[in-house]
Amino acid sequence: MNEEIIQIKGLTKRYGYGDTESFALKDFDLTIRRGEFIMIMGPSGCGKTTLLNIIGLLDRATSGEYILNGEDVAGISSRRKARLRAKKIGFIFQNYNLIQDLSVLENVALPLVYINRPRTVRLKNASDTLRRFHLQEREYYLPSQLSGGQQQRVAIARAIVSDPEIILADEPTGNLDSRASIAVMEELKSIHEEGNTIIMVTHNPALTVYATRVINMLDGQINTDIKTVADQNLPQKIEVKRTRGKAKRTRKSNKGRKN
């Protein structure tokens, strides 16, 4: 069975003190296995983005425990945290967050800077990833020259270019029409089928058909947590091995694997 890659225990995020004290997360517990596709729903302000930002090492909890790949996040330096984030985690945002004066290709290549890939390798890997999303003929466009759906698919390419195993998506279809939303969801589906773990926030209940687990939050806590795919049926991780810049995908058993 796929291992637990995220273990969160008693996590609390507090803002303010005394009269202004409020809790974005309250004594929050969550265990996530590799290969889960989790959708997080719940009313505005219930703590969804806060949770995603803490999981993605962009923010830290006030108290509680967060173990990522067997490692207690509290104990690691901010430098190592940044490296861990670059290697293990891909982010997708509602408003795409592309850099407007960089080309599509340079945007997708950007995460590889943080894991010290040489420029030629960066551009090659970015180009290969864009091909997968059928966007290679737009490599030299600027983001503003693309539709919203295309920009979000570029953002997905950027999120997976370094082959992270955890993809965090905060309302990735929030700005898209239903056709573009489906295109984005189909891309996320294929990334998930390669054994990657996806945690996505959405307000759209129709999208939960893509999930293996749906978590409803309320006031910084889990209200309901429903698995629609049993743990033993989650996809196995496909290792992407790059030989001379070519991506080669092989399915690998997780048995006995340590990270």
Gap between the Cα atoms of 255 and 242, Å rounded: 22
- 124 and 159 in contact (C-beta within 8 Å)? no
Which of 35, 47, 143, 164 is close enough to bind ligand ATP by CB under 6 A? 47
The torsion angles phi and psi of 61, rounded to 5 degrees, stand at -75, 160
Rounded to the nearest 10 degrees, what angle do helices 148-160 and 178-193 cross at? Answer: 10
- Tell me the per-residue interface mask from 49 to 88 with ligand ATP, x by CB under 6 A, - otherwise: xx--------------------------------------
The single residue among 9, 31, 45, 114 that binds ligand ATP, judged by CB under 6 A, is 45
In whole angstroms, the minimum distance from the beta carbon of 53 to Mg ion comes to 9
Q: How many residues bind ligand ATP (CB under 6 A)?
A: 9
Pairing of strands 221-227, 89-92: unpaired
Binding ligand ATP (rule: CB under 6 A), the pick from 15, 224, 225, 233 is 15
Contact 214, 48 (CB under 8 A): no
Binds 140: which of Mg ion, ligand ATP, none (CB < 5-8 Å by kind)? none
Binding of Mg ion by 49 (CB under 5 A): yes
Measured in whole angstroms, the distance separating CA 74 from the mean position of its chain's CA atoms is 20
The nearer residue to ligand ATP, 45 or 70, going by C-beta atoms, is 45
| Residue 24 interacts with, from ligand ATP, Mg ion, none (CB under 5-8 Å by kind) | ligand ATP
Which residues contact residue 221 at a Cβ distance below 8 angstroms, ignoring those fewer than 6 apart? 25, 26, 27, 28
Q: What is the Cα gyration radius of the chain?
A: 18
Q: Which stretch binds ligand ATP (CB under 6 A): 27-35, 48-56, 144-152, 240-248?
A: 48-56
* Interface with ligand ATP (CB under 6 A), residue from 8, 41, 46, 92: 46
How far apart, in whole angstroms, are the C-alpha atoms of residue 45 and residue 42? 8
From the list Mg ion, ligand ATP, none, which binds 50 (C-beta under 5 to 8 Å, kind-based)?
Answer: ligand ATP
User: Which spans of this chain sit near ligand ATP (rule: CB under 6 A)?
Assistant: 15, 24, 44-50
